[in-house]
A and B are shown apart, each in its own frame.
Chain A
Amino acid sequence: MPEHLSEQKLSELVSRAKSVRKNIIKMITEAKSGHPGGSLSAADILVTLYFAEMKVDPHRPADAERDRFVLCKGHAAPVLYATLAEKGFFGHDELSTLRKIDSRLQGHPSMKDTPGVDMSTGSLGQGLSAANGMALAARLDGKNYRVYALLGDGELEEGQVWEAAMFAAHYKLDNLTAFVDFNGLQIDGPVSEIMSPLPIPEKWRAFGWHVIEIDGHDYQQIYGAIQAAKTVKGKPTMVVAKTVKGRGVACMENVCDWHGKAPTAEECSNMLEELG
């Protein structure tokens, strides 16, 4: 496995991420509610996972051998749905049903409803525990799949996260790689002002994890961290990915108010134009 993305792969990721970001904006606008800021900040991580790394087959979403992904920050469901659609788990046309009655695309991910969703999440703090269970099951069953999880930085304020952190290190779950989408903002303001989870890397190190710090919008760095994590033995890996909330849409970048607000139709068309 090469440590670096080929030029060809890199340009594919750039184009996939652009499509995912546009779909995030479109689907949230259509739904008239949802969480664009934290979806955009996580987009490059999901695109790299699903298009450069994870062993998943959109035609066999329940394959027992597949790699798993748990979106712990479940409110970023639009980035997961847009990525799954991009990957072919379902059609892009379905994205416009987000948050509507009878839709398979619930406001927060529901594994019973949506092909490709490996765990129901949304209540913050619970996802990493489920990822622990999946990683443990892989070991028990002698399977080689890996488990990926993505947490929010505000989510680190939940106590359960640290219960799960202890557990993963105690049971040496080295088939688990988690990310913190470190965009620095939560609903009520900067994480450092609301209830600081800082310093983040030091906390995970103290809990017994291997920690890698990267720019969460640099595909080579994301990919490099994923590869490095696979070589770590006896420890789970936490990739602390510095990101920008709202990344890719200038008026949303680093603006708290775009945590959980839908763009108007006019704003949407401007944003889509900007994304290209």
Chain B
Amino acid sequence: MGKATREAYGEALRELGRENKNIVVLDADLSKSTKTNVFAKDFPERFFNAGIAEQNLMGTAAGLAAAGKIPFVSTFAMFACGRAYEQVRNSISYPKLNVKIAATHAGLTVGEDGATHQAIEDVALMRAIPNMTVIVPADALETRYAVAWAAQYHGPVYLRLGRMAVPDVFGDGYEFKHGKAVELANGADVTLIANGVMVAPARRAADELIAAGFSARVLNMHTVKPVDKEAVIRAAQDTGAIVTCEEHSIIGGLGSAVAEVLVENHPVPMERVGVLDVFGESGTPDALLAKYNLTVADIVRAAKRVISRKE
């Protein structure tokens, strides 16, 4: 098992802080959980705790960016996108200010804290805002690349990070290309398009499909906005069936982004593995993933279903 993406985020911030004096970090009383405390320890003069006040957190970041700083702002995804939605929209994205919103504890895998803290609609909310870029890294290495990319890009970015440890998907030689899907396996019968914590299960699902006599392409769609249209269309053309896999509501996230590309360009049968428009609950991350249909077996079933729907 590798690290949680939030752990990698804290370390990446510390590295960035050394390289670029314009990087400042803000948090809302969750720095031990979001791992911004790693940056705070080395650069206390560039770390600002805003207390439990997420609206002002986002607005202050906007002001810092307006005056030339590069703020990374962290809190839980629920509060970054929910509580402070309109500040993100009007104070940050509308003026296209250079603020990086790195939200942790996204999705059901927050676990025991339950539904109030499990953001399953954050990608949908952020994706709908003009000027916003949305990235959902799959592992520690990809997180480090995404953070570095966000720092050098001028404009608002939403980085969706998780609480629980995830397996390392990528190794040496991995290159992060903004807006470009990463092919993890090739196959002819179906394409599994995943991001975040669902990338590792999608890969294992592809292995299991081989045993059942099917071959699957696996794409890691780390950037949900702008989504890699070419990769989606190519997958539809080459494999004729798509399954999306995300730890997010099936409404508005990766599944929707892929569906939008498909229906307008190359319609093929599609299934969405995701949270089925319901709230989560307390439980261990694994128990939640099992109960809410986010397992390898769920992906395999969806793949078989979608293959059977092909002409």
Do A and B share a complex?
A: yes
Q: Which chain B residues in 58-77 approach chain A with CB under 8 Å?
A: 58-69, 71
Per-residue A-contact encoding for B24-68, CB less than 8 Å = 1, 0 else: 100000000000000000000110101101011011111111111
**Please, which residue of chain A has its CB at the minimum distance from the CB of B90?**
A123
A-B contact count (CB 8 A): 111
What is the CA–CA distance of A133 and B67 in the complex, to the nearest angstrom? 8
Contacting pair A137 B55 (CB below 8 A):
no
Q: Please, how many residues of chain A have a CB less than 8 angstroms from a CB on the other chain?
A: 35
Contacting pair A129 B91 (CB below 8 A):
yes
Residue among B53, B60, B69, B86 having the largest count of chain A Cβ atoms under 10 Å: B60
**Please, which residue of chain A has its CB at the minimum distance from the CB of B53?**
A163
Contacting pair B56 A132 (CB below 8 A):
yes
Min distance, Cβ B26 to any Cβ of chain A, angstroms: 9
Q: CB of A84 within 8 A of chain B?
A: no
Contacting pair B91 A141 (CB below 8 A):
no
Contacting pair B66 A166 (CB below 8 A):
no
Contacting pair B86 A131 (CB below 8 A):
no
**Please, which residue of chain B has its CB at the minimum distance from the CB of A136?**
B64
**Please, which residue of chain A has its CB at the minimum distance from the CB of B65?**
A133
Residue among B50, B63, B65, B66 having the largest count of chain A Cβ atoms under 10 Å: B63
What is the CA–CA distance of A129 and B97 in the complex, to the nearest angstrom? 14
Point out the residues of chain A lying under 8 angstroms from B95, CB to CB: 110-112, 119-120
Identify whether the interface residues of A are mostly helix, strand, loop, or mixed. Answer: helix
Q: CB of B191 within 8 A of chain A?
A: no
Min distance, Cβ B68 to any Cβ of chain A, angstroms: 6
Contacting pair A133 B66 (CB below 8 A):
yes
Point out the residues of chain B lying under 8 angstroms from A131, CB to CB: 63
Contacting pair A64 B59 (CB below 8 A):
no
Contacting pair A133 B68 (CB below 8 A):
no
What is the CA–CA distance of A118 and B68 in the complex, to the nearest angstrom? 12
Given A126-B90, A167-B51, verify A134-B59 contact (CB < 8 Å): no
Q: CB of B279 within 8 A of chain A?
A: no
What is the CA–CA distance of A135 and B62 in the complex, to the nearest angstrom? 12
Q: CB of B94 within 8 A of chain A?
A: yes
Contacting pair B90 A163 (CB below 8 A):
no
Point out the residues of chain B lying under 8 angstroms from A171, CB to CB: 48
Contacting pair B56 A122 (CB below 8 A):
no
Q: CB of A68 within 8 A of chain B?
A: yes
**Please, which residue of chain B has its CB at the minimum distance from the CB of A130?**
B63
Point out the residues of chain B lying under 8 angstroms from A160, CB to CB: 53, 55-56, 59, 87
Q: CB of A58 within 8 A of chain B?
A: no
Q: CB of A206 within 8 A of chain B?
A: no
Contacting pair A134 B67 (CB below 8 A):
yes
Q: CB of B248 within 8 A of chain A?
A: no
Q: CB of B96 within 8 A of chain A?
A: yes
Point out the residues of chain A lying under 8 angstroms from B66, CB to CB: 111, 118-119, 130, 133-134, 137
Q: Which chain B residues in 76-135 approach chain A with CB under 8 Å?
A: 86-87, 90-91, 94-96
Min distance, Cβ B93 to any Cβ of chain A, angstroms: 10
Given A129-B91, A141-B68, verify A136-B63 contact (CB < 8 Å): yes
Residue among A123, A133, A134, A138 having the largest count of chain B Cβ atoms under 10 Å: A133
Point out the residues of chain A lying under 8 angstroms from B67, CB to CB: 64, 68, 133-134, 137-138, 141
Q: CB of A140 within 8 A of chain B?
A: yes
Contacting pair B63 A166 (CB below 8 A):
no
Point out the residues of chain B lying under 8 angstroms from A128, CB to CB: 59
**Please, which residue of chain B has its CB at the minimum distance from the CB of A149?**
B63
Indicate which residue in A118, A138, A159 contacts B55 across the interface (CB closer than 8 Å). A159
Min distance, Cβ B97 to any Cβ of chain A, angstroms: 9
What is the CA–CA distance of A120 and B90 in the complex, to the nearest angstrom? 8
What is the CA–CA distance of A111 and B93 in the complex, to the nearest angstrom? 12
Point out the residues of chain B lying under 8 angstroms from A132, CB to CB: 56, 59-60, 63
Q: CB of A208 within 8 A of chain B?
A: no
Contacting pair B68 A137 (CB below 8 A):
yes
Q: CB of A164 within 8 A of chain B?
A: yes
**Please, which residue of chain B has its CB at the minimum distance from the CB of A170?**
B51
Contacting pair B63 A137 (CB below 8 A):
yes
Contacting pair A164 B56 (CB below 8 A):
yes
Interface residue ranges, B against A (CB under 8 Å): 24, 45-46, 48, 50-51, 53, 55-56, 58-69, 71, 86-87, 90-91, 94-96
21 residue pairs A–B, Cβ–Cβ below 8 Å: A64-B67, A64-B68, A110-B94, A112-B96, A119-B62, A119-B66, A119-B91, A123-B86, A126-B55, A129-B58, A129-B59, A130-B62, A132-B59, A133-B60, A133-B63, A160-B55, A160-B59, A163-B53, A167-B51, A167-B53, A167-B56
Leading 9 A-B pairs by shortest Cβ distance:
A133-B63, A129-B59, A137-B67, A163-B56, A163-B53, A130-B63, A133-B64, A160-B55, A120-B95
